[in-house]
A and B are shown apart, each in its own frame.
Chain A
């Protein structure tokens, strides 16, 4: 266990810096955007009313004080009241969180369950037709824009074949296409990286030794190869989960999935900044917490990373 705590401490420090940066950028951008008061009041509001609201929001105080108050509020989870929903922003955003988590987890599981076997098969049957097709598709999956993958799936699977619904969140059938779209990039990355991790191990001396002494090929792959390729694969797969959340904004918009990402985009159209602020911050927090957990698992699995 030696070295694990400093490693985690370093990662935790980095995570806190990232969160502080996100909140600072949010604060700076909000102040750059100008006076929010006219948005809150009817256009014919008297000057006294404007001054009253300004004082109420603390906008008449010096910037450093405003910044300190803002950071304090963020720490307490107070992002202000939603203009559109007339409720505390955090409460509104938390209501949309389960849909995003459901979509994200499904997409991640789908990606991992499809990509891991494909990656292993591609490595074992290197340069075969299966390998070349899979890796070709993976390259497309890695560079094609998420939103267009979604549009193509809707066009082909929903509209032309009539197999699955185009949008909404009712049954499990509504979940398939969004999960596939959101998971496409992760699926492609996991498949490619699994393949190279397995190839790496297949080249190792102990695999050659196992083969030379006549161990059955299946046993060589399952026992000697997969066990040793597991650490990099677990890390890479885990890291994809965090990245995947960033794509949720796009996927939810394409499929009208009622999650946090779509809420953020709609709130931008409604000029409901407390909600936008809260979704940005909460997503960043989620991403950072997940990455931290992965670092933790990684640090436990592979002592070598702790020293770096």
Chain B
């Protein structure tokens, strides 16, 4: 440290690696982000192709094959690589189908939160004044208390369903998108070329599409990835509490809940889906971190 030769500056000093990464650390981050992306892709494929990949019907019960430990030849003469649950359903097949719920709710919630957040952020930035104050006060207020409590209250009354889950989880994450878009609008509005576009008769939509979105695209990708991890965990948490996806539809959180009573005799019912969920959450959120280091180090600390 303290060297005056610029070439020896540490790689982790927050230098954006927008072009080709020059240091081994940046190169590694790029590979990790890529690996994370591949993981999400694999998860999507597993979810879509669940009927082909899953060895058995995830909701078919079997009284003879109940609570079977992971085995290649169970009491019903079939292989259950991750065992069976208290109703004799194959845990592996249920975990595979569970990816559908996690990804469907997770991705849809990210889209809902992104659209609401981005629109409100653009609105706040362009209109300014009262509109801006109201939207930003709402954002502050939402961050001022734990949203999961309100989510629980809302779902308790409206009843759990896919649309309710997606809207509630989506709305719980609009604030970050709104802030990023708003600040980008404020930066651009002070530039002369925006006035020039207006003077030449260009529309607001054109400014958004040609100048704002390209500038915030990498930030949006980073936020969306981090939000995906949060949405998947929130869905699983709500399902674990009995407020998410309802049985017999398999979801990771719901499966952990079902296995809770059998922890001392049949540990695999809870642990198998729980570990899949934990790995998914860790990998997706780390991918978000890597993408941030790679694309947009300014978001650090948000």
Question: Which residue numbers of A lie inside 8 Å of B, CB to CB?
Answer: 14-15, 17-18, 21-22, 25-26, 29-30, 32-33, 139-140, 142-148, 151-152, 154-155, 159, 208, 242-243, 245-247, 249-250, 253-254, 264-265, 268-269, 273, 276-277, 279-280, 283-284, 287-288, 291
User: A291–B144 contact, CB under 8 A?
Assistant: yes
Is B36's beta carbon under 8 Å from chain A? no
Q: Can you list 9 A-B pairs with a CB-CB distance of less than 8 A?
A: A17-B137, A139-B282, A147-B237, A147-B240, A148-B274, A151-B274, A155-B270, A159-B267, A268-B152
Instruction: Give A245 to B150 CA distance when docked, in angstroms.
Output: 13
Main secondary structure of the interface of A (DSSP, over half): helix
A242→B243 CA distance, assembly (Å): 23
Residues of chain B contacted by A30 (CB below 8 angstroms): 157
Q: Which 9 pairs show the lowest CB-CB distances between chains A and B?
A: A246-B146, A18-B141, A268-B156, A18-B144, A33-B157, A280-B153, A148-B274, A284-B145, A143-B285
Q: Select from chain B the residue with minimum beta-carbon distance to A246.
A: B146
> For chain B residues 255-300, which have a beta carbon within 8 Å of chain A?
256, 260, 263-264, 267, 270-271, 274, 277-278, 281-282, 285-286
Closest to B239 in A: A147
CB B239 to nearest CB in A, in angstroms, measures 10
User: Once the chains bind, are B144 and A155 in contact (CB under 8 Å)?
Assistant: no
B142 touches A21 (CB 8 A): yes
Q: How near does chain B come to A235, taking the closest CB pair, in angstroms? A: 13
Given contacts A18-B141, A265-B241, contact A159 B148 (CB under 8 A): no
Residues on A with beta carbons closer than 8 Å to the beta carbon of B154: 25, 29
A145 in contact with B264 (CB, 8 Å): no
* Set of chain B residues within 8 Å of A29, measured between Cβ atoms: 153-154, 157-158
Bound complex: CA of A15 vs CA of B145, how far in Å?
9
Q: How far is the CA of A256 from the CA of B153 in the complex (A)?
A: 20
Known A25-B154, A250-B240; 7 more pairs at CB < 8 Å: A14-B144, A22-B150, A143-B229, A143-B285, A276-B152, A283-B145, A284-B150
B141 and A145 contacting across the interface, CB-CB below 8 Å: no
Enumerate chain A residues within 8 angstroms of B45, measured Cβ to Cβ. Answer: none
Residues in chain B near residue A18, CB distance under 8 A: 140-142, 144-145
Is A143 within 8 A of B274, CB to CB?
Answer: no
In the bound complex, how far is the Cα of B244 from the Cα of A143, in angstroms?
20
Bound-state Cα–Cα, A280 to B274, Å:
28
User: Does B242 count as interface, using CB distance less than 8 angstroms?
Assistant: yes
Q: Is the CB of A151 within 8 A of B153?
A: no
Cβ–Cβ < 8 Å partners of B144 in chain A: 14-15, 18, 287-288, 291
Residue numbers in A under 8 Å from B146 (CB-CB): 242-243, 245-246, 283-284, 287
Q: Are A280 and B243 in contact (CB under 8 A)?
A: no
Q: Chain B CB within 10 Å — which of A15, A143, A254, A287 has the most?
A: A143
Known: A14-B137, A21-B142, A250-B241. A147 touches B253 (CB 8 A): yes
Q: List A contacts of B153 (CB < 8 A).
A: 25-26, 29, 276-277, 280
Q: How far is the CB of A294 from chain B (nearest CB, A)?
A: 12
Answer whether A265 and B242 are a contact pair too, CB < 8 Å, given A18-B141, A139-B282, A273-B157: yes
Q: How far is the CA of A49 from the CA of B153 in the complex (A)?
A: 29
Question: Does B233 interact with chain A (Cβ within 8 Å)?
Answer: yes
Known: A145-B237, A159-B264. A280 touches B152 (CB 8 A): yes
Residue B138 lies at the interface, judged by CB distance under 8 Å to chain A: yes
Best-buried of A26, A154, A243, A283 by chain B (most CB within 10 Å): A283
Check: B196 CB closer than 8 A to any chain A CB.
Answer: no
Closest to A272 in B: B156
Once bound together, how far apart are the Cα atoms of A18 and B138, in whole Å? 8
Residues of B within 8 A of A269 (CB): 242
Q: A148-B274, A284-B149, A288-B144 are in contact. Are A143 and B241 (CB under 8 A)?
A: no
Shortest Cβ distance from residue A193 to the other chain B in the assembled complex, whole angstroms: 10
B152 contacts across to A, CB distance below 8 A? 249, 264-265, 268, 276, 280
- Whether B237 and A288, one on each chain, are in contact in the complex, defined by CB atoms closer than 8 angstroms, is no
Report whether B263 and A159 are in contact in the complex, using a CB–CB cutoff of 8 Å. yes
Give the distance to chain B from A115, nearest Cβ to Cβ, in Å: 18
Whole-angstrom distance between the alpha carbons of A17 and B133 in the complex?
A: 12
Q: Please, which residue of chain B has its CB at the minimum distance from the CB of A287? A: B145
Provide the bound-state CA to CA distance between A208 and B147, in Å: 44
Most buried by B among A144, A148, A249, A250: A148
- For B286, the chain A residues whose CB sits under 8 A away are 139, 143
Query: Which of B148, B149, B157, B256 contacts A148 (CB under 8 A)?
Result: B256
Given known contacts A245-B146, A249-B241, A148 and B285 CB-to-CB distance under 8 angstroms = no
In the complex, how many angstroms separate the beta carbon of A106 from the nearest chain B beta carbon? 19
Asked if B236 is at the interface of the complex by the 8 Å CB criterion, the answer is yes
A32 adjacent to B157 (CB under 8 Å) = yes
Q: Chain A residues near B271 (CB, 8 Å)?
A: 151-152, 155
- Within B39-74, which residues are at the interface with A (CB < 8 Å)? none
Contact indicator B145/A148 (Cβ below 8 Å) = no
Q: Are B260 and A151 in contact (CB under 8 A)?
A: yes
Chain B residues contacting A276 (CB-CB under 8 Å) are 152-153, 156-157
